[in-house]
Structure 1
């Protein structure tokens, strides 16, 4: 049975209704205090001053990696990374405004960060020139964390066993021979799913793109809530074709999964993701310490280990088997209002 998840859109609508009926509370953006190490604080901290709460839609193993690094660096801080699906995270922060327990939003897609920008502080203490121009936010309400792309990933072993050819285009995926063999993330619950939708809207026009997904629905086994779920299912043999995340496919291939990454003529859908500080929370020294630490050396290790697609000037991709010269799709006009309008039309 197909899983048709629309939780995120319902949550977003509820959040917008809440906002229309009441004002947001909390501090306003301002200049951040100078950074210092966690060990250098001489004054007794105020209650909760050493607690840092980070909301993130990123993968579980990336959360584990970041948690370990932060705990090692700041043993006297109480730092927690809390996972939410992208749409649920945005809905929660829309409803809460700056009066929220969240201090930092980590690895969230730029479209959501733009939608929430009024809730964020200017990050004036990080050198913006270290990032490539198309990753920079002139308002400095968010800093790059990574850039990730989607691709069509096939389990070559399953296709061979079934005597099916490797698809060469999006149109090929409509062939009835692939019925029940394809998974993709639900665009209303997953940023990755939305990227596939937006890339084809840009390539073909809105009407043709939605008509395409209406036809593709006949071949879909299930719509998943997370962007990496389809490729994980492809690796385990639950499906044969996944519209999913390139970096996760590379990880699974390097672990021995019989997967092949495909980029069709329309290019690889992609998005940058970033880090933001909730306005008013930049006054907490622990928050500034955590952000400064992340952009000292952690980001380089993070990128080289997990997501090597370029965000920094001079960045080198050293991940074994990671595609080079990825043909990125046209992802222009990817604004929050456009996204909201497109997702409102999605009914699968």
Structure 2
């Protein structure tokens, strides 16, 4: 039986899985909600999306996603406040970045109403799946992939757009020990490093596994030509604090324009935290560690917001970071999460009520 929400067709699941879920013990991205948003591009245009039951999808073995890797995705979260209201955080930025990725991979750009109105309808249908426990949220994964068939090396003629959701507990990565990469590269000039393309992440797994085997949890990526300049931390943007100044690299063909990254920079400006957006060399960071001016390093991204780094390895030497009270990382994380969960005023206009 079908109904509609905001002109989005709703096909309800016959039974719900929610009674089998322990919302007090949620891991990240392991349990999936009852429904998903599904849209298809064919005959030269995006068809209206529908909310349908979460279930497996069927693809032909010749679907081009399997052969030429046209696949992009986004990540954002929905939060409940103390009154039970639901909020998103900067969702239009996710839609805009999805289309930036789409353009680079020759995927048709998605209309705003398909993304926003479809997501709103999905969240209203699966409202009970949004955790109410402090620190928990509903992780939202929009993605597009080539579902058209053929072995010819060319863009597909059909694409599938899905938004799937997963209730998740507080994402805590602990204190990360990272290795500065000197052999492999995450991306290159003129490439797709600025896009959220699935292949970017597939290419990270092998170097990261090598780092794990050496006792590290993550890799710090450096530039592809000289390996002298720090760029990203695993799948996150990276921030480095030297004395009282917070430093992050400029976005480029190689570096993702992270939404958490942009938020941190705007908050830093509003709170008069000194910051610089510039290239930072491995040598500068090593020297700062040696002379005691290196105060903090942390990754920034949707899942954890802030992931503090406790030590980094470089050329067979490990460098520990100091433990400091009232760190920028803790301060910035609290400011962002308070806005996300409606615990504080939002002077930036980032919070989006469903």
- The TM-score, its normalising length taken from structure 1, stands at 0.31
The structure that is strand-richer by fraction is 2
The structure that is helix-richer by fraction is 1
| Greater relative contact order, per chain length (Cα 8 Å cut-off, separation 6+) | 1
